[in-house]
Amino acid sequence: MKKNSGIIFFALLLLTMCAQGQSPKTNNNQTIHMNWNPLTPEEEQVIVHKGTERPYTGEYLNNESKGLYLCKRCDAPLYRSDDKFDAHCGWPSFDDEVEGAVKRVLDADGRRTEIICNNCGAHLGHVFLGEGFTPKQTRHCVNSISLKFQPAENKTLKRVYFASGCFWGTEYFFMKAPGVKETNVGFMGGHVENPTYAQVCEKNTGHLETTEVIFDGTETSYEAMVKLFFETHDFTQTDGQGPDIGPQYLSCIFYNDETEKGIAEKYIRLLTEKGYRVATMLKPASRFWKAEDYHQQYYEHKGAKPYCHKYTPIF
């Protein structure tokens, strides 16, 4: 009875605190907030434990797209793309923040000034003054891993998803296609939340290695994307792609709507009429989980070419 009484008391305490606008605390005095986004161990190391990502490795270092940078943990708006500049320091730099979004806290050693999200306290990086980079004489040096980028709305941009074996090779061809503005590699179609590459390689998460392709509909078309998909891999292979064998390497088009599905079906029908036995699956698009940073634009950074993908004109 004592255990049950304690549980009931704690539950009532939580309800009372929430009703009073308070947040319950853990034993180490960290705030529990049910609406915060879950963090990976790497994100937690920086955002919670105030670590620093390696210079020149962050996702947003060279991002020049227009939009808004949000807090990775709570989605609060922090920085505008118009305030971003290149400080050649290895981390994204901003000379201003969204008003009231960033709090400055002196480091324990008194040598630097930390910047944190004013909404949830997430560690962002440090701020430096008087360096002369911009007229505002301010540099917010921010870890990419602490941020989430929200592109400015552009109704001509389309996001589509293709799986055709190792996502390094799939992305290699799409990122070079006319009209494509951005590509990302990751995972789709499985049952595990926020899977890692290692988990997917165990072949029991249900995910396929997938490439997200963002293209401008005024410069190219979904049909062109589907043609490129079929012309850059062996869509008749049923156990993987090339030497990469496993369920995560199967051929699949993840469609966003019935229009995309119809176009995909049209080209599968055309290929069948040409005598091909098409193994490509069609599935509705689901949550796209972005892979670790070192997988993004892999062949571009390596200065190499795919070993299991090649371009073969068909249409």
Residues marked as catalytic: 141, 166
Beta-carbon count within 10 A of 238 CB = 9
Token pair 């890692």 in the structure block, residue: 196
